[in-house]
A and B are shown apart, each in its own frame.
Chain A
């Protein structure tokens, strides 16, 4: 089984360790991981900001890079959601690319969904002696149907205790360029999220998207909370690099 890893531009730039954790998890599940070396961005920033032409160019690039794989897997609900649920709209006037994008969408998965429901990864390498709470990212939850999968996986991590926070399904306020264009509103939403995390009593918030991660961590630290950890689900499941 050849799995194409779409690492995402944010993991590539900000947190390469999450990319390697993802590789370890996929390999632990028996997948042959292929990382297209020239991959960059799925096109979502342009798509969500009105630059359709720019988004199309990048989407066509992703389709060409990954269509030869059995699966496309990404450690992001947002980017996998873009590929799975929005590429069809981008190529609505181009029957050939529409068909190819449709074929790719059908085999595109968010990481935890793939680990739990396709690879059925039972034994997880990671261990974490901590109480954590899970933040559902918007696209993961509402575009990719990711809700049960990360919780099921986390429940099998040694030492980990999962508690739910209130409004775990409410947006953290990131929203891509929204976070900069409407910084004050975005910060308010992030602040609400931080309050819910604090109220849950968790030592760490675990999530599946870099956008939420930077936003929540950025707000926690500015609030003066240097203690609550913000972890990507891949890091928790894969454990520390040995």
Chain B
């Protein structure tokens, strides 16, 4: 996906001014939050399950190389081929190579955020092949000239029913429908033809199971079931960090994932795909490939942000983020928006290409408390801020300001004098209204808010006058 993370502020500005988008964001916000809360009440002990989920994911990451080898051995033993992609470009090369080998001209695809990292669809089309997205959200974006997704589990959540109705009428050359049911049926009618005529199916992977060599794919539309079993060839693409040791681990994580994501106790479909279609078996692909993607992940694993790799892509952090709720996913400018995106994006595409993202959070920790695998998101954002500060990637005024503050605050006598003067001057500037409408160097504050003026004297000076010496 094209990187636009450097334009975060402009994009956020535009999205906050977009009335249609704001309406759509407001509508989905409440649903996600309320549904998750209600579904967690079904668990005996959410915090205990969450701790188990954290431990499962951390165990996998602690010995990732070993679990990956076990996965490769077990998947290979069941007739699948395991391929490795060190870079996003290698994902595309593998896919085109597989398509060529099996003479596939038309490729059907269920949702894969990792494939967005490499702009796989564009690469497939550039090679003269056809690709059809089957996740309804992804399909909507595809027929809108590959509009970028705005959310990791609901890529087209930013669109209203009316916008989708317009798109369908145009792309399908059919009379405009307005009921959601009609729109879904129309999409199904179009997509069914493609499932039956595609030679190859591409899916993402929510989990790779080491002990069985399986891939687990979680959907609500059932499109992944058809994508992975109807065509002769199935290719599952996901990050190397998506390994879990056992199927039992998957069972635990599945108690957390749909609840945290959509507030469902279980998603409508959970496909566990293991090996190629055997002799006399009816279901499954004849050829099965796994593309396990690094693309920056192993570097994260060895660094101070490693806990971010526990992520199971539920989207709860963005659904609960007050910043995301107001600016929408497109503002973040790459594949993964919201708090987790503000950690993964600088890690995968370079911190110099996403300078604003780690800063664009109030560190309110709403993300941290809802994360089902206990990723300390604010702490990781703070580590990225430290990197930016140390690498001198912040404006000199900001670095100077912070250094000056800590220098002054470490000198209490001087500090007392400076604050006494500051309180006096600002209080005087506030006048009878006791409000400052403008502040030098703080236009960010006073453009949209007043600054209440200080009372005029500092607590330290007043208290010193009261306490008998």
Contacts and interface: CB of A to CB of B under 8 A. Distances in A.
Interface string A27-57: 0000000010111110101111111111101
A110 interface: no
Interface of A: 7, 9, 11-17, 19-20, 23, 35, 37-41, 43, 45-55, 57-58, 61, 89, 138-139, 142-143, 169-171, 173-192, 213-215, 217-219, 221-222
B409 A219 contact: no
B434 to A, nearest CB: 9
A210 B370 CA distance: 26
Given A12-B419, A58-B406, A183-B445, 8 more contacts: A12-B460, A13-B419, A15-B455, A16-B463, A51-B399, A170-B364, A182-B360, A188-B16
B362 interface: yes
Contacts of B450: 217-218, 221-222
Contacts of A55: 406
Contacts of B422: 13
Contacts of A47: 382
* Most chain A CB within a 10 A radius of its CB, from B9, B364, B405: B364
Given A48-B382, A51-B402, A186 B444 contact: yes
B398 interface: yes
B326 A179 contact: no
Given A38-B412, A55-B406, A183-B448, A171 B390 contact: no
B458 A142 contact: no
Contacts of B394: 49-50
Given A41-B409, A221-B435, A142 B368 contact: yes
B170 interface: no
B459 A181 contact: no
Nearest to A184: B13
B389 interface: yes
Given A51-B406, A181-B359, A13 B454 contact: yes
Nearest to B385: A50
Contacts of B410: 40, 57-58, 61
A183 B444 contact: yes
B353 interface: no
Nearest to B449: A218
A214 B451 contact: yes
Contacts of B163: none
A59 to B, nearest CB: 10
B368 to A, nearest CB: 7
A20 B459 contact: yes
B363 interface: yes
B8 to A, nearest CB: 9
Given A49-B385, A187-B448, A12 B458 contact: yes
B363 A175 contact: yes
B126 interface: no
B362 A16 contact: no
B361 interface: yes
B350 interface: no
Nearest to B358: A50
Nearest to B451: A218
Contacts of B9: 182, 184
B326 A189 contact: yes
A50 B444 contact: no
A19 B362 CA distance: 25
Contacts of B283: none
A53 B366 CA distance: 27
A41 B411 CA distance: 11
B362 A184 contact: no
B251 interface: no
Given A89-B379, A183-B448, A58 B409 contact: yes
B452 interface: yes
Given A218-B452, A221-B435, A50 B362 contact: no
A141 to B, nearest CB: 9
